[in-house]
Amino acid sequence: MSYSETIPNGGCETPCPRGSTGQRGRDGRCRCQACREVTRLRKQRWLDRNPEKKAAYSTKWRQNNRDSRIASVNKWRAANREKTRQAVLRAGAKWAKANSHKRAASRAKQRAIRISAVAAWADFDAIAAFYAEAAAKTKATGIWHEVDHIVPLRNKHVCGLHVETNLQVVTRTDNRRKASKMNE
């Protein structure tokens, strides 16, 4: 008989504090609905009062049960593919909203790579700083700002590079007006 199985009265006719003489666990504790609810509430109060111990227990349990936890998560994901897909999409959208400057820098880099406009010596941290500055200006002023290539990446007369010395932060309106023309 397993620990969770119950035996009638547990060999005891004494009622529990809530008046039940029903089933008892192997440990002799009452298994009536009222006692289980009291135990659940007591456990919840302890967890609320001891969040650091709860975190330590959870961490230890995850470390000791890594394989079974991974198997359980994978089983749930397989059974709930649509919920998993929706959760991934929500998480991606949340990250993209919080990191719009990183996303814009990454997209610009990919476009530049596609047209072979990235120099091997480009400082991508400095380039990312331009996109962060554009995002900050947009947030501060409420006017959309974008990163513009001073010398356009594509132009019928000249093609610029996607490097930090060829970038400037301008308003979206100015960037659209300029398009792929050179500044005079």
The tens digit of pLDDT for each residue in 168-180 reads 999 999 998 888 8
Q: What is the pLDDT of residues 52-70, one digit of tens each?
A: 999 999 999 999 999 999 9
Q: Which three-class secondary structure string do you get for the chain?
A: CCCCCEEEHHHCCCCCCCCCCCEEECCCCECCHHHHHHHHHHHHHHHHHCHHHHHHHHHHHHHHCHHHHHHHHHHHHHHCHHHHHHHHHHHHHHHHHHCHHHHHHHHHHHHHHHCCCCCCCCCHHHHHHHHHHHHHHHHHHCCCEEEEECCCCCCCCCCCCCCHHHEEEEEHHHHHHHCCCCCC
pLDDT exceeds cutoff 90 at 37: no
CA 46 to chain centre: 28
pLDDT exceeds cutoff 60 at 140: yes
Q: How far apart are CA 74 and CA 134, in angstroms?
A: 40
Model confidence, pTM: 0.45
Q: Are 103 and 96 in contact (CB under 8 A)?
A: yes
Write phi, then psi, for 90 (nearest 5 degrees): -65, -45
State the pairing for strand pair 23-25/6-8.
Answer: antiparallel
**Residue 41: band (very low, low, confident or very high) from pLDDT cuts 50, 70, 90:** very high
